[in-house]
Homo-oligomer: A and B are copies of this chain.
Amino acid sequence: MAAVLPTPTILVFGTFDTKLAPLLRLHQFLLSQHPQPKILVADVSCCTAISHPIISLPYLNGTYDPLGIGPEKDNKHQPLDMTSVISHFTTQLESLYKTQQIHACISLGGSCGSSLASQAMRKALPLGVPKVIVSTMASGDTRPYLEDSDIVLIPSIVDIAGENTVLDMVLRNAAGAVNGMAWAAAAAAAGSQGSQGSQAPPEPLLPPKEKRRVAVTMFGITTPAVEEARQVLEASGCEVLIFHATGSGGRCMERLIRSGLISGVLDLTTSELVDEICGGVLSAGSTRLLGAVQMGVPQVVSTGAGDCINFGPSATLPERYRNNGRTWLIHNEAVTLVRTNKEECGKLGKLMAERLKGAKDGRLAVIVPTRGMSKIGEKTDVFYDAESDMEVVKGMREGGLEVEMRDMAINDEGFGRECAERLISMMDACEASQV
């Protein structure tokens, strides 16, 4: 099998001015892999341009020379703006990938190096392309580095500097990881193209839609509705992708929608917008809810978990929510929830109307349950507040959105099913109109 597989090329990059020794070791470990990959090496130094025989893509390559110093002049120049290094390198990385010169990449660094590497990888490379960063920042809050990407962080254990046996062990494992991923991806690409043995396609890496692929948003407290919907969708032959409304979940979904890989969206759990409005910890950013509209993908949207602002452990709950007569709830050790009030619910409705207003005819249905937006928002439960719930509908209508109300709670039998069936008939109609 190995004989017919095309050999993948792995790009190693990093700030050679500060991390020369560990980058050289990483390169050595990659060279000793079996099966051996091809290797390219790029310098992304931010302070001093480095010249070294293993560097195949030097920092001041081509026309990029923001300081006008040229590679031949004294290289002890002013530190560069890191933003311009990232921007240049991202373009370069994207081009290397799209022209099939590289199939995987690996970098290493502390907080600055990890930030540089992850920004470039996130922007330049689609999901599925193997991306590894050996980082001092792997054990802690990784969201600033990963966001919605499939970057794999490998903990460096020790500082990434000099040479020592612990770092060697880490770099050896990292080289093995990226090499294994690169060969697995190469095998998959070869398989998906028959036995031609050609290189992986540039993008997207997901196979084309053989059947309808539907994205669904979920939270623990909207799971019954989603489960009901999922069964209907799968019974009708759809592939169902479930995204948790955790911020990165919504971002991942929006990214896939924009990549043209999603046939329909069942956005039952839009609570990431609540966190965006109220400063909760699970915001998915200001492009949430825009993807399907912009791509013309049929979608059914609801207000699942619109009754909750999400925070971390209760000790981290901001003062403004802790007092002031707000209702809040320790969901578990890691999650504290605050009930949205009338004002916040009104804002949620308006924001949703604003983001959804460009949807084409027949590609959007907004269906809102008026007896509770989540499992804990039903009558008799702690977040029940029908007045605030109605403010969402008011806000949507003031924003010019057509809203269908249902006299039930989101998790009541039938709600998920109706939403799924509606989406199926919208997809049918859209496909029929395109034939």
Q: How far is the CA of A167 from the CA of B240 in the complex (A)?
A: 11
- When C-beta atoms are compared, the residue in chain B nearest to A279 turns out to be B315
Q: How far is the CA of A187 from the CA of B31 in the complex (A)?
A: 13
In the complex, what residues of B have CB within 8 A of residue A2's CB?
34-35
- Subset of 11 A-B contacts with CB under 8 Å: A130-B173, A132-B177, A139-B148, A140-B143, A141-B141, A164-B213, A164-B240, A172-B185, A173-B181, A176-B183, A179-B184
Q: Does A256 contact B (CB under 8 A)?
A: yes
User: Is the beta-carbon distance between A159 and B239 smaller than 8 angstroms?
Assistant: no
Residue from B155, B177, B244 in contact with A177 in the complex, judged by beta carbons closer than 8 Å:
B177
User: Is the beta-carbon distance between A140 and B142 smaller than 8 angstroms?
Assistant: yes
User: Is the beta-carbon distance between B184 and A175 smaller than 8 angstroms?
Assistant: yes
Q: How far is the CA of A334 from the CA of B162 in the complex (A)?
A: 26
Residue from B35, B140, B184, B319 in contact with A173 in the complex, judged by beta carbons closer than 8 Å:
B184
Residue from B136, B139, B167, B246 in contact with A140 in the complex, judged by beta carbons closer than 8 Å:
B246
- When C-beta atoms are compared, the residue in chain B nearest to A312 turns out to be B141
User: Is the beta-carbon distance between B155 and A149 smaller than 8 angstroms?
Assistant: yes
Q: How far is the CA of A208 from the CA of B241 in the complex (A)?
A: 48
Interface of A is mostly: mixed
Which 7 A-B pairs rank lowest in CB-CB distance, beginning with the nearest? A180-B180, A176-B184, A139-B146, A176-B180, A159-B242, A139-B248, A176-B181
Q: How far is the CA of A181 from the CA of B182 in the complex (A)?
A: 12
Residues A181 and B180 in contact in the complex (CB < 8 Å), given A142-B138, A152-B152: yes
Q: How far is the CA of A362 from the CA of B142 in the complex (A)?
A: 42
Q: Does A430 contact B (CB under 8 A)?
A: no
Interface residue ranges of A292-329 to B (CB < 8 Å) = 312, 316, 319
Q: How far is the CA of A234 from the CA of B191 in the complex (A)?
A: 51
Q: Does A32 contact B (CB under 8 A)?
A: yes
Q: Does A218 contact B (CB under 8 A)?
A: yes
User: Is the beta-carbon distance between A32 and B146 smaller than 8 angstroms?
Assistant: no
CB distance from A416 to the nearest CB of B (A): 16
User: Is the beta-carbon distance between A111 and B334 smaller than 8 angstroms?
Assistant: yes
Interface residue ranges of A117-169 to B (CB < 8 Å) = 127-128, 130, 132, 136, 138-144, 146-155, 157-159, 161-162, 164-167, 169
User: Is the beta-carbon distance between B164 and A152 smaller than 8 angstroms?
Assistant: no
Q: How far is the CA of A319 from the CA of B84 in the complex (A)?
A: 38
User: Is the beta-carbon distance between B157 and A32 smaller than 8 angstroms?
Assistant: no
- When C-beta atoms are compared, the residue in chain B nearest to A150 turns out to be B155
In the complex, what residues of B have CB within 8 A of residue A140's CB?
141-143, 246-248
User: Is the beta-carbon distance between B184 and A29 smaller than 8 angstroms?
Assistant: yes
- When C-beta atoms are compared, the residue in chain B nearest to A167 turns out to be B241
Q: How far is the CA of A334 from the CA of B206 in the complex (A)?
A: 35
CB distance from A147 to the nearest CB of B (A): 7
User: Is the beta-carbon distance between B130 and A176 smaller than 8 angstroms?
Assistant: yes
Q: Does A178 contact B (CB under 8 A)?
A: yes
Residues A158 and B205 in contact in the complex (CB < 8 Å), given A142-B139, A146-B138, A166-B127: no
Q: How far is the CA of A367 from the CA of B313 in the complex (A)?
A: 38
User: Is the beta-carbon distance between B173 and A34 smaller than 8 angstroms?
Assistant: no
Q: Does A80 contact B (CB under 8 A)?
A: no
Q: How far is the CA of A376 from the CA of B147 in the complex (A)?
A: 33
Residue from B157, B205, B334 in contact with A150 in the complex, judged by beta carbons closer than 8 Å:
B157
CB distance from A297 to the nearest CB of B (A): 16
Q: How far is the CA of A172 from the CA of B185 in the complex (A)?
A: 7
Q: Does A194 contact B (CB under 8 A)?
A: no
Residues A159 and B206 in contact in the complex (CB < 8 Å), given A34-B187, A139-B142, A139-B248: no
Q: How far is the CA of A153 from the CA of B153 in the complex (A)?
A: 7
> Other than the known A148-B157, A150-B170, A177-B178, what 10 A-B pairs have Cβ atoms closer than 8 Å?
A5-B34, A33-B184, A138-B146, A140-B142, A141-B141, A149-B155, A158-B241, A162-B240, A166-B206, A179-B184
